[in-house]
Amino acid sequence: MNIPLLTLYVISIFLLIITPGPVVALIINTTSRCGHRRAILTSIGTNWASLLLIAIAAMVIAGVFSISRTFLNIISLTGCLFLAYIALQSLYQDFRKNNTTGNTISDSIHSEQTNTGFIKGFLVGISNPKDIIFFISFFPQFTGITRSFSISMVVLSSVWIVMDFMILLFYIFITKGTFFSRNKRKVSITSSIFLLLVAIAGFTYTSHELLC
């Protein structure tokens, strides 16, 4: 195994994954609003989404099939709408909790608990299928870590999934800290606004690509 190349890969994906994005915003939002257990389920959902996208990218790299960019753009638009829905729903519930009685708050919390964190995490993780294009461009630079393409892809995928999960756990841990605990509502609103901005930016960019 090419250890120096693998080390470079680990450093690269660490810097990529730890950079805040929609998934990190969702994890922070979920931790501040629903607790660490729901956030862990959500992170597992995003992990499975990444695994699916990586598997599709690996098959494209191997020449099994190709994917239409227009198709990816259409799915991406749908994903942006879903992100916007999650952000607006969270903002609505945060402001509603601030202006209603305890019974309404309890009902809101109960309603939130009936939703599955895993599914929400998976849908957010899969909401940007253009990640497939990123993986197609990124992974070939590191398939030389072993002499076998298949083994290299298994190693690269496994390392990505493990590091992705560990970094999300790190965000869950720091969100449980004193500062975040004292400012749960502010953290939730901030992360929701960030999600909404990502959705708007993604929708605008993808729409421009489709029309051009």
User: Which DSSP symbol is given to 143?
Assistant: G
pLDDT at 179: 66
The highest-confidence range among 66-70, 106-110, 145-149, by mean pLDDT, is 145-149
109 pLDDT above the threshold of 50: no
The mean per-residue pLDDT over the stretch 62-79 comes to 80
111 pLDDT above the threshold of 70: no
**Tokens at residue 84, please?**
């916007």
158 pLDDT above the threshold of 70: yes
Cβ atoms of 82 and 90 within 8 Å: the answer is no
Other C-beta atoms closer than 10 Å to the C-beta of 212 total 5
Q: How confident is the model at residue 159 (pLDDT cuts 50, 70, 90)?
A: very high
The mean per-residue pLDDT over the stretch 99-115 comes to 48
Name the nearest CA neighbour of 49 among 27, 81, 74, 71: 27
Q: Which residues contact 49 (CB under 8 A, 6 or more apart)?
A: 121, 122, 123, 124, 125, 126
The mean per-residue pLDDT over the stretch 173-194 comes to 78
**In this predicted model, which residue has the larger pLDDT, 102 or 182?**
182
4 pLDDT above the threshold of 60: yes
pLDDT at 101: 47
**What's the predicted TM-score (pTM) here?**
0.79
The mean per-residue pLDDT over the stretch 165-181 comes to 83
- Mean pLDDT rounded to a whole number for the chain: 83
11 pLDDT above the threshold of 70: yes
Give the C-alpha separation, 174 to 18, whole Å: 13
Work out the angle between the directed axes of helices 149-175 and 3-18 (0-180°, nearest 10): 40
pLDDT at 46: 93
In three-state secondary structure terms, 144 is helix
**In this predicted model, which residue has the larger pLDDT, 99 or 175?**
175
The total of structural domains in the chain comes to 1
pLDDT at 110: 44
Name the nearest CA neighbour of 26 among 192, 201, 200, 181: 192
Cβ atoms of 41 and 27 within 8 Å: the answer is no
Distance of CA 72 to the CA centre of its chain: 17
Count Cα neighbours of 206 within 13 Å in the Cβ-side half-sphere. Answer: 23
**In this predicted model, which residue has the larger pLDDT, 54 or 185?**
54
For 51, the domain range is 3-12+21-211
pLDDT at 138: 87
H-type alpha helices, the chain: 3-18, 22-34, 36-61, 69-98, 102-113, 117-126, 131-138, 149-175, 178-182, 184-211
Q: How confident is the model at residue 163 (pLDDT cuts 50, 70, 90)?
A: very high
